[in-house]
């Protein structure tokens, strides 16, 4: 079982076996540079603008604690959804992007078939300015 896990999900395997390599998150500046490099590498035209407003990138950075995989995944999800809804638009402004991220999160939560109590707890957690695990224990 562990050999299958190691070959298919090495990061999960490292956590289970107790030997993860922990890297501190990139700075916001480094994340923005990584996004610029990705755009420069994958662009089809000579001149390409950042398709997502930088405030959205900063929001994703803040809520993820600087986790670049999260930022790239949510940005990709947002871009795909935006292209479906607004095929002629070129860039995602902050307010529409924030609203779409909420809707994507809502769809994900709805797919989990959570109980009303679990949804209430999630709602309370989402409305806190900051959140800690012990806050959840108190809420239970």
Q: Per-residue confidence of the chain (140 residues) as pLDDT tens digits?
A: 556 656 666 666 666 666 667 778 899 999 999 999 998 898 888 888 888 999 999 999 999 989 999 999 999 999 999 999 999 998 999 999 999 999 999 899 989 999 998 888 888 877 776 766 666 665 55
Cα-based distances in Å from 47 to 2, 38, 50, 64, 110: 47, 14, 10, 30, 39
Q: What is the largest CA-CA distance in the chain?
A: 54
């Amino acid at each position: 079982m562990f050999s299958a896990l190691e070959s298919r999900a090495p990061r999960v395997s490292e956590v289970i076996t107790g030997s993860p390599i922990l890297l501190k998150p990139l700075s916001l500046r480094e994340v923005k540079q990584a996004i610029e490099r990705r755009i420069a590498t994958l662009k089809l035209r000579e001149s390409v603008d950042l398709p997502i407003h930088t405030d959205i990138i900063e929001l994703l950075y803040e809520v993820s604690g600087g986790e670049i995989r999260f930022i790239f995944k949510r940005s990709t999800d947002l871009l795909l959804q935006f292209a479906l809804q607004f095929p002629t638009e070129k860039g995602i402004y902050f307010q529409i992007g924030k609203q779409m991220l909420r809707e994507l999160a809502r769809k994900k939560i709805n797919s989990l078939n959570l109980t009303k109590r679990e949804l209430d707890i999630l709602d309370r957690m989402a409305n806190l300015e900051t959140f800690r695990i012990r806050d959840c224990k108190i809420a239970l």
